[in-house]
Structure 1
């Protein structure tokens, strides 16, 4: 297969049902020679912050000279960004070659057993095969959803397990309480690994502690008292944490120092596992970390921010960031959400801050909530709202109302940020 054919193959797999569990994933990898056995992993699960923590870690590890793979989902701006080595996307021909190999094994399984792997299982197998071929020293692996039965949890050579902030999300799959969801996330803990966790609710923390004890993992939580913010702006933030003074990061958002502190705890754990990472490499790696779509400015006049907030916990942090950075300025929103998210809670948290809101339907996803339905939900909190027929039209509607000093926040789902950025830039070019 070439690259377009490989992408088309994956689209067809989206129509295929799944069998719950790790058996299919294990069988697929066995047919590929178990490439994951050649690798060591930092495995990350949680509700919010996984991508940011992964980015800090891959940047620091690359700075320290390790060949570092990273696997994330979903893609934001390019499909191939999900598979990276030392922060460089997989090449089209590399992806096509790996997928061809995985697809051959998958189709043999389907012919023999009457069923085969899902799209995400195939994608995860492609990642593990690719990283094995690249001889990665370490792979930073982000779960797709949950932990225990996520396809990524087939790996058993985890050196550090990282649990980011756990909140209410994907309840139809993971459970209806924080404890149940935390139990699923803590399924990534493995004997011999060191576990590190963000600050959690008491309910989630108790479950994580029990899981660590059961697996024989040492466990350390981020120490809130050790995190001291020195300064915060849209361009950079400075903070102290543990043995490090005046760490600089260039990711905005009130939540980023906490994500960075969790990454630093993971780095301390990696040192305990024998990885050589100097303080200077830590500082440089943290300062050079980039991660788009997390309170990311893409324009200054007017200020336009892209943010992936898509659940209540993320919306609370988004609200804090707006209040910190844009006090006294008029705020405009473009919102698009999935139907299966608790979008009413996102609205109740964020909508009161806005002077005007435009709702859109996130494109090319059957889970997308129609713009008109989202408008009706927003109206109950803030009547200054209209629905747009497309993202491009929504940007035009907003820009007609906005002054140069106003602020536009685009949020509600990661899935439409790429198109929103393109539409904003096209509209800005049209204004010039």
Structure 2
């Protein structure tokens, strides 16, 4: 039999274009739970899916055919067979090694499987390097949502070994789930209805709300259309408001000058600024790029830690006692200029404290702190080179749009199911 697996176009708006261009405001009255690593994330997500009665929406950059991937596959198949609508959106690069048999089992059970920007290999090499669907979002029954940096792969579990990733996600219950549900449904290409509170870009909500009630959550995202800089601007705005402390833990750190300047300025005015970076990166280039910026930041009082226990994959930050962000976006050219990303902004004192304690434990027990005074290493030259590299990368969406593998298209295709 033939089973359909849809291909989602690069950056092509869904039929309801109005939904794609809306901003999401601050939603009060939410319950936010920090989920650290796969040990906390997978049981929470899988249990929510097992309890699903109507709908499961899932977006992920990576899904591997390992023990986590097979458990997820079984849960989704069982849900679809009992009548739950299941839509799974996968990135064509990150999930490019999934076997036809794995995908066919899902599709035959009734799971709607979609692949973002698929591309055939050229001489055995994948060509869809840029504009990745890098978001990690799960929404179940429009009642509970999960968002963060954790993929569906066993390398997010400690028993994977020295290469197991350190990472974070959040579970959200409350009014903000409606925004996450609306967004995930719209990005899957399904028709959605707009409602009050989903606003046009010219009425963009502030990254820093005027009211300070706990439980405030706002969804922000980055695309290559109308929301190119939203996540970067949220970081810049929060740092400009910082009065006491700011902690950023990010796997791939090579931001543009505006964000670097705001980090430096916060430290200059007496804010305790800490950066937690990779000391044992899964991508060596990430460590080399980040170290180009060390001298520029250290000389103004920024404290830099390198996490050395295992690869750091987190994308989290906090400012003062109640502002935090968790999501999929790194602070590098790929995330800030190319990838499709999503974060949540959180105003909640208890959550901020919980995240701070987790990051402080990480920095204190498992990190190497860079010395305040290092031998001069042509920091001005490094910063200039970094500035040029970053801003060249910012134009990559336009350049890569000319490549055949990245021309917008929405094309369903039929794949031959395997024999059982």
- TM-score above 0.5: no
**When the two structures are superposed, what TM-score results if normalisation uses the length of structure 1?**
0.32
Structure ranking higher in helix proportion: 1
Structure ranking higher in strand proportion: 2
Larger relative contact order (CA 8 Å, sep ≥ 6): 2
